[in-house]
Chains A and B, each alone.
Chain A
Amino acid sequence: MKKMLIIFMRDVKVNKRDFISLYILIVPIIFGIVINLIAPGVNDTTINIALIEGENIEMQEYLKDFAKISVYKDKAELEERVARRDEVFAYVPDGDGYYILQQGDELEGLLDYAKMMLAFYEDDVQIEDSTAEIHDFGRINPPLKRLLLNIMMMFTAILGGMLIAINIIEEKIDKTIRAIHITPISRTGYILGKSIIGAILPLYGSIGLLLITGFSDINWYQMMVLIVVSMVVSILFGFIQGINNTSVMDAAGSVKMLFLPLGGAVAVAELLSDKWQWIVYWIPFYWTYKGVDEILTYQSSWQNTLIYGGIVVGISAVVYILLIPKIRKGLE
């Protein structure tokens, strides 16, 4: 175990000196922040209203609880803003009232919402006037955020594999594997030592992503099962890439090929009906995606989690058994 850690610590030390490796090590954190920035929360409004600055302060205050308000100097600026590509409605003063200015290609539902908001303001309707009771499932995270998080967690597993590949390629370029084999560390110990960095990235990357994006109240035990399963994929992928490539750029090129099954698995899971799901049953990412999605939507069960995890381990084991001779030869 001590020698495995020595191998791992060497990899960490060298990876910190390499830009690509360093980038891979910190990218899960960047992913988490980016997801938070681009995915809307449940409290985010879906309508943008433009007003003339200072024209009606009271209206501006009223509307800001229900819409994203932006203000402009005069009518000309207001018109210019509305004419841009995104969906913005302007309330333009007209005599005693207002007219709504739009481009013309906005969604009808949004226009209705803009009309209603104006009517509510004119009739001085307040939230307290509503008698509706709110019942919910306690979900606080929107589907887009969930989707991005799930994809990024799988991507983190690929990056973990990439780190292993980079370290193996380094050993191949420097021809140091033979020197390691003339030391008392066993080949299994060496392989496991080399695997640690690729296993840790999906672990800390996934946990980091979940915490940064606000999914802290999930079933962590079930999630850990799927994260550990992702580590297996990561290690296997890392050794395959490391052994089959002679330069980091070659390995990076091969990684692109993996985005096809990853993207395909997500697309099929999200877009195709149940009768077509079998098309991607062979892709491990499909099962991790399904499992993680159930956990993120609070619909998971231990039975399903273990089945999905078992399938991924099973597929990985088959691939590993087929590739054992090649992996051994590559590490000689």
Chain B
Amino acid sequence: MIKVKGLNHSYKKDGKYAVNNVNFEVAEGEIFGFLGPSGAGKSTTQNIMTGLLQLQEGEVTVAGYDVKHIKNEMFNQIGMSFEQSNVYSKMTAKENLDFYRKLFDVETREPQDLLDLVGLGDKGNIRAGEFSKGMKHRLTFARSMINNPTLWFLDEPTTGLDPSIAADIKDIIRRENKKGVTVFLTTHNMYIADELCDRVAFIVDGDIKLIDSPKNLKLQYGEQLVEVEYIKDGDVVKESFSTIKTEDKNQLKDIIDKYEIQTMHTKEATLEEIFIKVTGRGLK
């Protein structure tokens, strides 16, 4: 569904690249996570793929269309939910969706259905300018589905949403994906990437450092740990032990035998920890 080969982009065309020799492919029906800290080149790559930025160097094919010579009909097949909500504040939620649906040449979804889907069903006749940040974000998300996209770009889709609404949004993404929609998810939130993505790419300073599935990454880079809190000489002590290393296993046995255990649970390495391990950088 997406093919990116040798992608370079320099904003000032001065040899300093925001993305540098980026290569990856996204298969049809896949949820692909593009992960990296702010300024890593995520948005630049996404903007080139969606035609918002002009392709300078490299080959990019999106939904079968060459982005070098972009055709307007390509946009009938793609949807995009922006990180910063961008809806017309002087128009109602329904008018916003109605306006956008008329710009597409394909069958579109009913605005009311989409509003119901994102929990704004009873807010259709309210101007978006009166919406909270989270409601605007949901409206932006709903709009990105209006043309039944086969390729769906999602930029930080759960940012600023409360946990229950974020969970609803994640459910919608899963449901759409099950219908066959390919999802390109840009985020610096490793938890949502871990939950949703079939594969993830780590990008830092314009370079893709790694591409793999979260499961493989955990197997490859993660370490199974047991975290124990116990009482020793009247103090609470907290320690982590590997479940693989013999020395750690023996130490853990010893603690269980000798001390009063307060809490004990297994801990899997998170994508964030793996990201830091692989790239040497945090995600903020």
Assembled-state Cα–Cα distance A14/B82 (Å): 23
Contacts of A184 in B (CB 8 A): 72-76, 103-105
Interface segment out of the listed A33-41, A98-106, A175-183, A288-296: A175-183
Residues A174 and B87 in contact, CB atoms below 8 Å apart: yes
Residues B90 and A175 in contact, CB atoms below 8 Å apart: no
Residues B100 and A179 in contact, CB atoms below 8 Å apart: yes
Residues B86 and A182 in contact, CB atoms below 8 Å apart: no
Residues B88 and A14 in contact, CB atoms below 8 Å apart: yes
Q: Residue A17 at the B interface, CB < 8 A? A: yes
Residues A176 and B76 in contact, CB atoms below 8 Å apart: no
B-side interface residues, number (CB < 8 Å): 29
Residues A170 and B86 in contact, CB atoms below 8 Å apart: no
Given the known interface contacts A6-B99, A17-B90, A183-B100, the answer about A178 and B82 at a Cβ–Cβ threshold of 8 Å is yes
Q: Residue A118 at the B interface, CB < 8 A? A: no
Q: Residue A185 at the B interface, CB < 8 A? A: yes
Contacts of B84 in A (CB 8 A): 175
Contacts of B74 in A (CB 8 A): 184
Assembled-state Cα–Cα distance A186/B79 (Å): 16
A interface residue count range (under 10 / 10 to 19 / 20 to 34 / 35 or more): 20 to 34
Assembled-state Cα–Cα distance A178/B84 (Å): 11
Q: How far is the CB of A247 from chain B (nearest CB, A)?
A: 14
Q: How far is the CB of B72 from chain A (nearest CB, A)?
A: 4
Assembled-state Cα–Cα distance A264/B73 (Å): 49
Closest to B102 in A: A6
A13, A174, A180: which contacts B89 (Cβ < 8 A)? Answer: A174
Q: Residue A115 at the B interface, CB < 8 A? A: no
Assembled-state Cα–Cα distance A18/B53 (Å): 32
By a beta-carbon cutoff of 8 Å, the part of chain B in contact with chain A is 50-53, 72-76, 78-80, 82, 84, 86-91, 95, 99-100, 102-105, 140, 143
By a beta-carbon cutoff of 8 Å, the part of chain A in contact with chain B is 3, 6, 10, 13-14, 17-18, 170, 173-176, 178-186, 332
Lowest 4 A-B CB distances belong to which pairs? A175-B86, A183-B103, A184-B72, A184-B75
**What are 18 of the A-B contact pairs (CB < 8 Å)?**
A6-B99, A10-B99, A13-B91, A14-B90, A14-B91, A174-B86, A174-B89, A175-B84, A176-B88, A179-B87, A181-B52, A182-B50, A182-B52, A183-B100, A184-B76, A184-B105, A185-B72, A185-B103
